[in-house]
Amino acid sequence: MIFKLTSFIRKSIMIIDGKKIRDEILEELKDNFEAIGGVILAVVWVGDDPATAKFVEYKKKVAEKIGVKLNLFEYPDTISESDLEQELKRLAIDSDINGIIVQLPLPAQINSEKIIALIPPNKDIDALGVETVMMSPVTAAIAEILKRHKINLLKNKFVVVGKGKLVGRPTAVWLAGEGADVTILDSKTEDITTCLKQADVIISGIGKPGFIVPEMVKNGAVLIDAGTSEQSGKLAGDIDSACAEKALLFTPVPGGIGPIVLAKLFQNLWKLSIQTK
């Protein structure tokens, strides 16, 4: 009896394959970028953090594959704020450059918001600036999954966990703008379990490994994990993988949202490139 129930539940879970979705999007982008040619992405990297090195390497590989030239601008972590500002100003007005990414975090002596504000909106593919016209790549990745699986924005109860600038905030702002029933909270909210239990869709981006456990989730929920942290050298998400058993849809970490975010970053580059080319 128990076995039967479990196998029934198992059958109904959809585990999102983020790499497959990423590759589909990149395939289309490749044709687009090759058709217009000469799109250049500037990546600003201060310091020599090995985790950042990996991200940069990954972007480089993808860029190469889809016909985008990635120009890497490397600076020592001792660079002064004003020197970095000068560099950003130069990239901002360089008409050959279609997109600018500043790898975060920046060293302590530099005010990140000041630097990010120097990326002009029409080159801000990370959608980090105040005047951005683009959707944040993480939010766009989440929207892509919801759309592919026909999750109705107006008929479901959304809970967004986390209020960070990369995940929670832009995603909550997007959902609110779309007219969704959405509750926004963070790991410090008191009655978090009560809130989560009511959610049809949970989107998490707090960066606390395994914070959301099966007891907090209702059966048949859509679980989207956009929180990534390192746990004993391995990437871990906010949502305990045991929750998958209760889920209608589940995005694993790694391999769920992450790869799609990268594709959305390049999709933003594409959208801005055709505006200026």
131 binds its own copies (CB under 8 A): yes
Under rule CB under 8 A, residue 198 binds its own copies: yes
- Please tell me whether residue 200 binds its own copies under the rule CB under 8 A: no
109: alpha, beta or left? (left if phi > 0; alpha if psi -120 to 50):
alpha
| Residue 180 within binding range of its own copies, rule CB under 8 A | yes
Distance, in Å, from the CA atom of 146 to the CA atom of 200, rounded to the nearest integer, reads 12
Phi then psi for residue 142, to 5 deg, are -65, -45
Q: Which of 172, 216, 253, 263 binds its own copies (CB under 8 A)?
A: 172
Residue 36: how many CB atoms within 10 A of its CB? 13
Coil, helix or strand at residue 238 = coil
Q: Output the smallest distance, CB 100 to its own copies, in A.
A: 21
- Cα 121 from Cα 181, distance rounded (Å): 29
Give me the least distance between CB of 139 and its own copies, in Å please. 12
**Residue 138 one-letter amino acid:** V
Among 186, 197, 254, 271, binds its own copies (CB under 8 A): 186
List the one residue from 19, 65, 163, 271 that touches its own copies (CB under 8 A): 163
* Residue among 103 and 139 whose Cβ is closer to its own copies: 139
Residue 93 zone, left/alpha/beta (φ > 0; ψ -120 to 50; rest): alpha
Q: Does 217 bind its own copies (CB under 8 A)?
A: no
Least distance between its own copies and beta carbon 218 (Å): 13
The residue range among 42-50, 59-67, 180-188, 220-228 that interacts with its own copies, by the rule CB under 8 A, is 180-188
Residues 238 and 210 sit within 8 Å (Cβ to Cβ): yes
- Chain contacts with its own copies (rule: CB under 8 A): 131, 133, 163, 169, 172-173, 175-177, 179-186, 189, 191, 198
